[in-house]
Structure 1
Amino acid sequence: MARGSCEGVGMSASTGTAKGGGGALLPRGEQEITDQSLNRVVSNAKRVAQGDLTNLELLRSPADIQRRRTVLNQAYQECERITGIFAKTFYLGTKFMPPEARKAIWAIYVWCRRTDDIVDGPRAMVRGKKSLQKDLEDWSSRLEDVWAGKPRDSLDLALVDVREIYPTLPIEPFKDMIDGMVMDVPGIGKNRYETFEELELYCYRVAGTVGLMVLPVLGTAPGVSEEDAKFPALSLGIALQLTNILRDVGEDAVRGRIYLPLEDMKKFGVDPENIMNGILDENYKEFMRYQIARARFYYQQAARGIPMLAPQARLPVQASLDMYGKILDVIENNNYDNFRNRAYISKVEKLLTLPFSYLRSLNPGKIDLNIDESEFKLTRFDKIDMVRETFPKDLEEY
């Protein structure tokens, strides 16, 4: 599915979590692992802590502190294991981070993965829309408990600890991601988007949010605030999610979903029924070229944020941008047939990309703090000429 969460965002890809939740951040992950497996893993994590986890936050005797430390270490190990199982490339990207940061990213990834599982797992298939809506409301309440330092299981405890280590970690993007999950609930959310503005909101909620989640963990360069780096972080999440959507047009059509804007289809003479039937004609190819150009715009805006990051965070973000951006190249090389050919980057290609990403991360360019929010908005085009005028020169061939 085209949902995303934190896989890929801020690391080499995401979400769940790039697409398919827990993995955009993010695709479902390199392997097709069933959600029943996730449920078993989470059940194991719940058994890590015996007794009332909340009491671990309240009691401060030496024994309590030691017990909390033991449970917390086991919780982080579970977060690492879950990330390694469901998002191998994403997990590899975290290895380039300092130990404390990578543990925090694992905990955030697991939260995103579990959030997505509420509406995308096998249990969701047999639950009605009211039940799913109630589940998401309960999950939102549970998030509030985490921010109040009241974990309900050991995985929650890991996120509580992240919140303590990174006090600027905002709760709002976590809540917004839950709202994004609501948008995918059958009978409540949407399976069509009329305008790109609507789709952009969805992309923000299910993937752009991850950029805001991980920004306090990644850190910023001296003289750069998290507020300064916010819009590039959002742009990267949206770019990754748009890439997921373009990659999975055929898969989503099988599920009765079309994420691409209906107004754009009309502009290019593409009938939604043709997409549902996998018809590849010249109108569709032109339509895809247009969508790919739009996604690249967001990648270029995201690249402006690389020099704003702390030096140790630049490589994983640059690698994410480089590797995921190559998926768009593959779609083009497949003659825009994303009905029958799933675009992906092989492990060898990813490894070959890393040295170039490393060199780019060493020389990311100058920091530009004179950024206006309007520069990161690209919601509607009435004419193709506007695309040519708005995009940088290397995209003018479109």
Structure 2
Amino acid sequence: MGFDYAIVHLKYTIPPAVLLTWLYRPFFYSLDAYKVVYLISVALVSTIPWDSYLIRTGIWSYPSHVIIGPKLFDIPIEEVFFFVVQTYNTSLLYLLLSRPTFQPVYLSAERGASHSRWRSSRLVGQAFLLAVIAWGWRCIKDDSLGTYTGLILIWAGPFLLLLWTLAYQFILALPLTNTALPILLPTLYLWIVDTLALRRGTWVINTGTKYGVHLWDGLEIEEALFFLLTNALIVCGQVAFDNALAVLHTFPTLFADPSLLPSPATLMRALLTPCSKYNNARLTGLDEAVRRLKRKSRSFYLASATFPGPLRADLLLLYSFCRVADDLVDNASSADEARDWIAKLRKFLNNVYSDTASESAIHHQVCAEFPLAMQSALLQLPTAKLSPQPLEDLLRGFEMDLAFEDEPLIKTAEDLRVYSERVAGTVAQMCIQLIFYWYPSILPAEEQSAIIAAGNNMGVALQYVNIARDIAVDAHIGRVYLPLNWLSEAGLSYDDVLKNPKQSQIETLREHLLSDAFSLHEKAKDAIEHLPVEARGPIRVAVESYMEIGRVLRQDGFKVKAGRATVPKSRRVMVAWRTLNR
């Protein structure tokens, strides 16, 4: 009886598990726990018979003085724990590195020329893995120095072949930070750990079944191959799982109302769904939504990565619609053209929420009346999960913007609040509606209504920050959102602000507006804690990332880019991290 192997865990495998758990804790939703437990179960079921065979046939062994004693099918309990902790650590590293990636945009419908390219890639990978398995079988048949290598290859090869066949597209399409990095980092780390263990004799590979080649002094080439392949299996398993989830949650026409914790059978059905059945318009809409968010709002793009997958998709599509609608009105060449766009948007929404308008009629109207680059934002709006009133109020907010053509619009603080409720409070309300759709609340209806009202107030607070940031930018296009009575009290006129939006009195008014914003924020933020647990952290990040702009505006000498105060990326990341861990 000894503790050498247990000490390896205490020194080298458990500390990374603790660190990764701490780092990923804010995102560790039930779906992530499900994925990790599922992979660990598969790892145990697939590895125990193989490892037991290696021990019983003398391929490797564990001296009695380095293990505690209990065994499972001849496998020391420390080795069984190693299967668990390696799978756990590599899985968490994968989840952490892939969190920023919106994976559904890496699906492909594989039509036309792309089908041939994908098919060729699949066949090449399958041929390579079949050759690896065949070589492994030959090594075993020769019963020579390649026996251990052969046993590794015929064990890992079929699993890799299956995963490649099911998820090759995702494996190839995802960024290397999602695939190669979570394989290579733990592999290199375990190579070092294994070197130390082999030198200490914690486990022994018997001679006669290994080549005797070392990757470096102390690390057998077979051990290096084993850890590389096991980490590849774990990551490819996670990728296949995410591939199935992306299919389930991206194509409602293929899988209506899928469970947030789908069964293995459902996951397999999703992976076996031919890519030709994917809705290409849906994929285009999501891809364009991601691009818009990256380009137009870095704060909200950072925040979007913290939301669970299916909710994140709908929020991206909602943002895409709001951004497109706003751009159509703001970029119109005249007030008449802007009013025409609003009329077309209202017609679209009336058709969507009508009991008589067909889907083809809606599609025809969008294609006939809106620019091609903006059509997906309308057609992919998740209207079935949203009530029509906030969308109508949003259009009324756009109409208030057009009133600037005739006379100053914002005369009092109440006018400013009404405007902000329409252009921002409505968006917050719709976000909460989507949250309650995906994660139904058990709260009474009146409490849910109170949360939505608080969301409206928070949207107003964010809009106040936006106005405070853009005083100079808005003045450049002939608009002043500061209330006229505030201007009068400061000894300014509307035209004074248009001519010189950087004078000292305006800084006082900016601070007044920011004070109102932070007051509303303080009153509304507690309502976040009554949201479903999956949305609390992400909503806090979305809110605090934007409120950080207000905090920057209160500092002397804040940086300005394109006329707007900016928050450095490192500061945005730190705000998100502190907020998630609150």
Whether TM-score is above 0.5 comes out as yes
Please give the root-mean-square deviation of Cα atoms over the aligned residues, in Å: 3.1
Q: Distance in 1 between matches of 2:395 and 2:519?
A: 27
Q: Distance in 2 between matches of 1:193 and 1:349?
A: 33
| Structure-2 residue corresponding to 1:330 | 552
Describe the shift of the 1:287–1:253 C-alpha distance in structure 2 as closer, same or farther (beyond 3 A). Answer: same
1:132 aligned to which of 321, 330, 338: 338
| Structure-2 residue corresponding to 1:233 | 455
1:272 aligned to which of 479, 494, 501: 494
Question: Is the aligned partner of 1:200 residue 2:410?
Answer: no
1:302 aligned to which of 524, 527, 534: 524
| Structure 2 residue matching 1:229: 3-state secondary structure | helix
| Structure 2 residue matching 1:175: 3-state secondary structure | helix
Q: Is contact 1:129-1:186 (8 Å) kept?
A: no
| Structure 1 residue matching 2:327: 3-state secondary structure | helix
Deviation per residue, 1:268-295 (Å, 9 max, x gap):
3334344233376664443333222111
Q: Distance in 2 between matches of 1:74 and 1:183?
A: 32
Describe the shift of the 1:258–1:339 C-alpha distance in structure 2 as closer, same or farther (beyond 3 A). Answer: farther
Give the unaligned 5+ runs of structure 1.
1-55, 58-65, 361-398
1:223 aligned to which of 421, 431, 443: 443
Q: Is contact 1:251-1:339 (8 Å) kept?
A: no
Q: CA deviation at 1:212?
A: 1.2
Could you say which structure has the higher helix fraction?
Answer: 2
Q: Distance in 1 between matches of 2:350 and 2:542?
A: 30
| Structure-1 residue corresponding to 2:235 | none
Paired letter, 1:131: E
Describe the shift of the 1:355–1:189 C-alpha distance in structure 2 as closer, same or farther (beyond 3 A). Answer: farther
Question: Is the aligned partner of 1:163 residue 2:380?
Answer: no
Q: Distance in 1 between matches of 2:319 and 2:470?
A: 22
Question: Is the aligned partner of 1:120 residue 2:330?
Answer: yes
The sequence identity of aligned pairs, in percent, is 24
Q: Distance in 2 between matches of 1:105 and 1:233?
A: 15
Q: Distance in 2 between matches of 1:214 and 1:73?
A: 21
Q: Is contact 2:490-2:505 (8 Å) kept?
A: yes
Q: CA deviation at 1:236?
A: 1.4
Q: Distance in 2 between matches of 1:276 and 1:227?
A: 40
Paired letter, 1:184: D
Question: Is the aligned partner of 1:177 residue 2:397?
Answer: no
Paired letter, 2:575: T
Deviation beyond 6 Å, 4+ runs, structure 1: 335-341
| Structure 1 residue matching 2:554: 3-state secondary structure | helix
| Structure 1 residue matching 2:411: 3-state secondary structure | coil
Q: Distance in 2 between matches of 1:254 and 1:87?
A: 20
Give the unaligned 5+ runs of structure 2.
1-251, 254-275, 364-374
| Structure-1 residue corresponding to 2:567 | 345
TM-score (norm 1): 0.64
Q: CA deviation at 1:145?
A: 2.1
Q: Is contact 2:403-2:409 (8 Å) kept?
A: no
| Structure 2 residue matching 1:173: 3-state secondary structure | helix
Question: What is the number of residues matched between the two proteins?
Answer: 289
Question: Is the aligned partner of 1:356 residue 2:566?
Answer: no
- Between the two structures, name the one with larger relative contact order (CA 8 Å, sep ≥ 6): 1
Q: Is contact 1:221-1:311 (8 Å) kept?
A: no
Deviation per residue, 1:101-157 (Å, 9 max, x gap):
111111111111121122112xx12xx433332221121111122334624254434
| Structure-2 residue corresponding to 1:84 | 294
Q: Distance in 2 between matches of 1:94 and 1:338?
A: 24
Q: Is contact 2:473-2:563 (8 Å) kept?
A: no
Q: CA deviation at 1:258?
A: 1.0
| Structure 1 residue matching 2:450: 3-state secondary structure | coil
Q: CA deviation at 1:337?
A: 11
TM-score (norm 2): 0.45
Q: CA deviation at 1:221?
A: 5.0
With 104-113 and 140-149 compared, the bigger mean Cα shift is at 140-149
| Structure-2 residue corresponding to 1:317 | 539
Describe the shift of the 1:282–1:99 C-alpha distance in structure 2 as closer, same or farther (beyond 3 A). Answer: closer
Q: Distance in 2 between matches of 1:190 and 1:337?
A: 32
| Structure 1 residue matching 2:564: 3-state secondary structure | coil
| Structure-2 residue corresponding to 1:27 | none
Q: CA deviation at 1:237?
A: 1.0
Paired letter, 1:312: E
Describe the shift of the 1:339–1:258 C-alpha distance in structure 2 as closer, same or farther (beyond 3 A). Answer: farther
Q: Distance in 2 between matches of 1:84 and 1:224?
A: 37
| Structure-1 residue corresponding to 2:481 | 259
